[in-house]
Amino acid sequence: MRAIADTLAARFNPVAVRGEISGFSRAASGHCYFQLKDDSGQLRCAMFRRAADALRFAPADGQRVEAHGKLDVYGPRGDLQLIVERLVPAGQGNLFEQFLRLKARLEADGLFDADRKRPLPAQPRSIGVVTSLGAAALRDVVTALRRRVPHLPVVIYPASVQGAQAPAEICAALRTAYRRHADTGESEVLLLVRGGGSLEDLWSFNDEAVVRTVAEAPMPVISGVGHETDFTLADFVADLRAPTPTAAAELCAPERSVRLGELEYLHEALQDRLYRQIDQRAQRLDRLAQRLGRPSARLHEHREQLTVLEHRLARGVQQQYQRQSASLQRLSVALPAAWARSRESARSRLQRLEVALGHLDPRLVLERGYAYLTDGTGATVTQVAQVHTGQALTATLADGALALAVQGVRPEKP
């Protein structure tokens, strides 16, 4: 049997089978068992709990479906059976494949990321609704909002919710809501709703343009499309998914009684805090009054302190004056002596300089037999090369000057 099963798996799997459900049952384990039949025969099917829990509809006898899975052989009886991994109503197979492909692409673009989801405002000042004016979903939403938040304005942005024109109208209605929100703050939260239906009926909310337009919303969006078992791509991109349109209205509008209860609680808490503050201020005032006592006694105490401070200030000034006078007297005694010492030191230094300068007097050199020669221009002659034979020179001696004439030049031999 195992060899037959392996051969079937290699030859045929995976497979898709269309037929009519017969003998559908669901065991306590959660597994489902049924047959698929058509005019030419029937095929046993088993759908295990993991796949059964993912069903988006309730299978029933007589319903035409499309089953995707793999062929196998049930060992104990040797029966051929189909292990069903996905089951959709007949005619929805292609649409569902499109749904899955588009969902994967949009998910890869990050449109379904959790960090994009925004919290709903605790108390919106106005609520917007995108849906058809003739839809039962609109009546359900308006009824729920009137019951829970009759004081809030509700703005309707009409659009078809089914048919070929629906995606374009939904996108236009969403953009109108976005523009008016930017201009005036209208619709702090937006509901995108319609009633239940088949996959084909809800297909407008799987349109890529609609999904990407929802992702551009400047305010939180609640998707309430179909019934609890219905899912659309608009549900994944919205900030919050509601199982029904009525639930969408209830999510953004807490009951009036709940809000009144919260206000009452806040009123009591504020009143209690106010009373505590008043009591604390009263106690503080009592303590200050006790510390203050009679004003006249307090004034007398301050006057005594002021008198003590005046005496201390007077003593301080007198002591400072005495210290400064003593310092001045010491300086008046020390200054003349310092001036005399400085003057004597300067006189001694001047005498030393005069002696040193006298040693440099050129007359002393002339008195030792030297002479000072100059030419006719008064320039000093220090070298033989500066004169020539017959040149007139002047020799300056210690006691006068002589007029000379050069009779010959004899340079010193090296």
Q: How many CA atoms lie less than 13 Å away from 229 in the CB half-sphere?
A: 10
pLDDT of residue 91: 63
C-alpha distances (whole Å) from 391 to each of 316, 387, 408 are 91, 7, 10
pLDDT over 80 at 208, yes or no? yes
- Residues whose CB falls within 8 Å of the CB of residue 29, separated by 6 or more in sequence, listed in order: 49
Identify the domain boundary among 207, 229, 254. 254
pLDDT of residue 201: 84
Q: Are residues 156 and 184 in the same domain?
A: yes
Q: Are residues 245 and 125 in the same domain?
A: yes
Q: Are residues 233 and 137 in the same domain?
A: yes
Q: Identify whether 288 is part of a domain.
A: no
Identify the domain boundary among 206, 232, 254. 254
Q: Are residues 171 and 147 in the same domain?
A: yes
Q: Identify whether 29 is part of a domain.
A: yes
Q: Are residues 22 and 129 in the same domain?
A: no
Greater confidence (83 vs 362) lies with: 83
Q: Are residues 129 and 85 in the same domain?
A: no
Mean pLDDT across the chain: 86
**Burial class for 393, CB neighbours closer than 10 Å (0-12, 13-18, 19+):** middle
Share of the chain above pLDDT 90, in %: 36
What's the domain range around 80? 2-90
Greater confidence (378 vs 116) lies with: 116
pLDDT of residue 289: 74
Q: Are residues 249 and 220 in the same domain?
A: yes
Confidence of residue 127 (pLDDT cuts 50, 70, 90): very high
Q: Are residues 227 and 135 in the same domain?
A: yes
User: Mean pLDDT highest for which of 1-5, 131-135, 289-293?
Assistant: 131-135
Q: Are residues 161 and 58 in the same domain?
A: no
pLDDT over 80 at 243, yes or no? yes
pLDDT over 80 at 300, yes or no? no
What's the rounded mean pLDDT across residues 318-344? 83
Q: Identify whether 300 is part of a domain.
A: yes
Residue-wise pLDDT for 19-77, tens only, equals 999 999 999 999 999 999 988 889 999 999 988 988 878 898 888 898 888 888 876 66
Confidence of residue 326 (pLDDT cuts 50, 70, 90): confident
Q: Are residues 242 and 306 in the same domain?
A: no
pLDDT of residue 207: 94
192-206, 304-318, 322-336: segment of lowest average pLDDT:
322-336
Structural domains in the chain (count) = 4
pLDDT of residue 204: 93
CATH number at residue 138: 3.40.50.2300
Q: Are residues 353 and 379 in the same domain?
A: no
Q: Identify whether 224 is part of a domain.
A: yes
User: Mean pLDDT highest for which of 106-110, 119-123, 366-370?
Assistant: 106-110
Q: Identify whether 169 is part of a domain.
A: yes
3-state per-residue secondary structure call for the chain: CHHHHHHHHHHHCCEEEEEEEEEEEECCCCCEEEEEEECCEEEEEEECHHHHCCCCCCCCCCCEEEEEEEEEEECCCCEEEEEEEEEEECCCHHHHHHHHHHHHHHHHCCCCCHHHCCCCCCCCCCEEEEECCCCHHHHHHHHHHHHHCCCCCEEEEECCCCCCCHHHHHHHHHHHHHHHHHHHCCCCEEEEEECCCCCCCCHHHHCHHHHHHHHCCCCCEEEEECCCCCCCHHHHHCCEECCCHHHHHHHHCCCHHHHHHHHHHHHHHHHHHHHHHHHHHHHHHHHHHHHHCCHHHHHHHHHHHHHHHHHHHHHHHHHHHHHHHHHHHHHHHHHHHHHHHHHHHHHHHHHHHHHHHHHCCHHHHHCCCCCEEECCCCCECCCHHHCCCCCEEEEECCCCEEEEECCCCCCCCC
User: Mean pLDDT highest for which of 43-47, 195-199, 396-400?
Assistant: 43-47
What's the rounded mean pLDDT across residues 86-110? 82
What's the rounded mean pLDDT across residues 303-307? 87
Give me the phi and psi of 116, to 5 degrees please. -85, -15
Confidence of residue 12 (pLDDT cuts 50, 70, 90): low
Residue-wise pLDDT for 145-156, tens only, equals 999 888 899 999
Q: 88 with 66: CB under 8 angstroms?
A: yes
CATH number at residue 63: 2.40.50.140
What's the rounded mean pLDDT across residues 315-323? 87
Confidence of residue 110 (pLDDT cuts 50, 70, 90): very high
Q: Are residues 69 and 186 in the same domain?
A: no
Q: 48 with 81: CB under 8 angstroms?
A: no
C-alpha distances (whole Å) from 365 to each of 360, 371, 372, 373 are 9, 9, 10, 14
pLDDT of residue 376: 85
User: Mean pLDDT highest for which of 188-192, 325-329, 343-347?
Assistant: 188-192
Q: Identify whether 298 is part of a domain.
A: yes
201-216 burial, b at 16+ Cβ within 10 Å, e below that, comes to bbbbbbbeebbebbbe
pLDDT of residue 2: 63
Confidence of residue 137 (pLDDT cuts 50, 70, 90): very high
pLDDT over 70 at 3, yes or no? no
Longest dimension (CA), the chain: 165
Confidence of residue 217 (pLDDT cuts 50, 70, 90): very high
What's the rounded mean pLDDT across residues 180-188? 95
Confidence of residue 409 (pLDDT cuts 50, 70, 90): confident
pLDDT over 60 at 247, yes or no? yes
pLDDT over 60 at 93, yes or no? no
Share of the chain above pLDDT 70, in %: 92
What pTM value is reported for the model?
0.48
